[in-house]
Amino acid sequence: RPILLIGSMYKIITIILALRLKRVLFLSLSGRITLINFDLSSLLMYFFTFYKAPNKVLKNITIQRNFLWTGCDE
């Protein structure tokens, strides 16, 4: 069951991050990188050292990567 906990924790974190990203249109690329690294990446790496990431979580990471490089969620 730890994977379910990680998935739910990840969902909460992505909601918080999405609220912060509403202002992303005013951020430079370095600002986006800092925001993503600070809010999410370190926490995910900590969890993934213990558990395998569910496919849904990996899909969300892909969305974040696309957002970082293109500025859109898809």
pLDDT in single tens digits along all 74 residues of the chain: 445 555 666 777 777 777 766 666 677 888 877 877 776 666 767 777 777 777 887 888 788 778 877 766 55
Structural domain boundaries of the chain? 2-70
Measure CA 24 to chain center: 14
Residue 50 per-residue DSSP state: T
